[in-house]
Chains A and B, each alone.
Chain A
């Protein structure tokens, strides 16, 4: 058990809908990362937050947004869902020091999103 929790485990929804995925980092970790994993693309970095602020951005679609709250949990919002958004979404956390720890990330169990 990595100490990172994600809810829900599974989510089935229809095209055009909006969903929110939730992540709680390990105790003491200030950085949260979001990833999308699909069979053909592998694990793709979406976005990183550190102590509530956005710090790095990957290939995140404009339909997707995230935030990190004062209690350090994070939410990933996916809107106007398309069939191609079906994937595993992972949250990871690292570090307590600013600017350190991207190389030592702890992943949650993931949320499996199915868009029908």
Chain B
């Protein structure tokens, strides 16, 4: 079993829909939770990170962490065609000298 599980999709939604992307994990020591967006043939780009449990909002994006369930989510409101990309969750035990474990990524397509 992988430390971080993520459904690779693809996920297709109509423009304007609310998108929910999720990851589960098995390592209860994870403290930092990140979401990256990767466009085709580009490097991943950090969207947001959260420390420990709770919610964090940045514009149309909201990240949620539920450590009791070992489950994290990224919500995208009013989705746009420009949101079409692969979304990777990532986690680490600490913020410093520590490897970051990535999910395999969910491919999202927002249809105009």
Contacts and interface: CB of A to CB of B under 8 A. Distances in A.
Nearest to B31: A103
Contacts of B102: 35, 42-45
Interface stretch (B38-46, B58-66, B72-80): B38-46
B96 interface: yes
A107 B100 CA distance: 13
A92 B34 CA distance: 15
Contacts of B43: 2, 4, 90, 92, 107-110
B64 to A, nearest CB: 16
A98 B97 CA distance: 8
A102 B95 contact: yes
Contact of B45 (A2, A41, A103): A2
A71 interface: no
Contact of A56 (B34, B36, B88, B99): B99
Contacts of B104: 41-42
A43 B97 CA distance: 18
Given A42-B105, A43-B88, A102 B44 contact: no
* B contact face: mostly helix, strand, loop, or mixed: loop
Nearest to A35: B102
Contacts of A42: 88, 102-105
A107 B97 contact: no
Nearest to A40: B104
B27 to A, nearest CB: 14
B46 A102 contact: no
A103 B32 contact: yes
20 contacts: A2-B45, A42-B103, A45-B101, A55-B96, A56-B99, A90-B43, A101-B95, A102-B32, A102-B92, A102-B97, A102-B98, A102-B100, A103-B32, A103-B51, A104-B46, A104-B49, A107-B36, A107-B44, A108-B43, A109-B43
Given A101-B95, A103-B95, 19 more contacts: A4-B43, A35-B102, A42-B102, A42-B103, A43-B44, A44-B102, A45-B101, A55-B96, A98-B96, A100-B96, A101-B96, A102-B96, A102-B100, A103-B34, A103-B49, A107-B36, A107-B44, A108-B43, A109-B42
